[in-house]
Amino acid sequence: MARLDRVKNITGLVEWYGKNARLRELVNLVVVAGDRRKESKDLEEKAEMKKMYGLIETYKLNGQFRWISSQMNRVRNGELYRMICDIKGAFVQPAIYEAFVLTVIEAMTCGLPKYATCNGGPAEIIVHGKSSYHIDPYNGDHAAELLVDFFEKTKANPSHWDKISQGGLKRIHEKYTWQIYSKRLLTLTNVYGFWKHMNDLDQRERKCYLEILYALKFRKLAESMPLAVEE
């Protein structure tokens, strides 16, 4: 469920699915992206749509694959999550890179087990193997095998699906409720109000503090971020 941009890697997910015979035996695939009802004026989206149609033909996906145009109605989007959850499916977010990833939070709130890119926000949101799973968008074969393993375990023991679903709901209640968000926002507001009334000496001390914080906490995280790969 995303825009039909190359970075979202929706066609990558379709290809992973098409190539893995066992995954196709276990589950069907639904994607919600782009608008099939009209021709796009965006060159990147046009290329992705062309690729999508080519993958459907190459892997003979008719009957196992449903491509739904992007939905602007949030209530309908919620129903799509719930429908997949009710039949004990999973949500896959295969992007090359993502920031916060609202769709992962939405899917988790609905109780859906999730497979999301390890590059960016999902690395923090998801606890691998407990609340959901990380996948490497550059290693689609491995991502498909992780899905196969999950659905085979779920087929043999339905409580495995419930365990991951409950783990995701627990993660939401611990980290991503509106109550938690509002408390953090109020805290940041109070901190801003404090810094705003500092004198020049205090401002220099704040700058030193922030530089130390960056060097100790964030520099290694920034250096570990993958660079864009030219195709």
Q: Which residues contact 164 (CB under 8 A, 6 or more apart)?
A: 113, 130, 131, 132, 150
Structure confidence at residue 191 (pLDDT): 64
Structure tokens at 25: 């035996």
How far is 20 from 22, CA to CA, in rounded Å? 6
**25 vs 190, higher pLDDT:** 25
pLDDT averaged over the chain?
87
Q: Reading across the β-sheet that carries 133-135, which strands appear in turn?
A: 91-93, 114-117, 133-135
Domains and CATH numbers, the chain: 6-175 (3.40.50.2000), 178-224 (no CATH)
Instruction: Write the single-letter amino acid at 34.
Output: G
> Residue 186 above 60 pLDDT?
yes
Mean pLDDT for 34-62 is: 90
Q: What angle do CA 66, 67, 72 make, to 5 degrees?
A: 125
For the chain, the distance separating the N- and C-terminal CA atoms, rounded to the nearest angstrom, is: 24
Structure tokens at 210: 């922030």
> Residue 40 above 70 pLDDT?
yes
**pLDDT tens profile 74-127:** 888 889 999 999 999 999 999 999 888 788 999 999 999 999 999 988 888 889
Structure confidence at residue 20 (pLDDT): 98
Q: Is the Cβ–Cβ distance between 133 and 160 less than 8 Å?
A: no
Structure confidence at residue 189 (pLDDT): 67
Percent of the residues in the chain that have a pLDDT greater than 90, as a whole number: 54
Q: How confident is the model at residue 24 (pLDDT cuts 50, 70, 90)?
A: very high
How far is 9 from 143, CA to CA, in rounded Å? 13
Structure tokens at 216: 């100790």
Q: Is the Cβ–Cβ distance between 116 and 132 less than 8 Å?
A: yes
Structure confidence at residue 41 (pLDDT): 83
Mean pLDDT for 166-185 is: 82
Prediction pTM value: 0.77
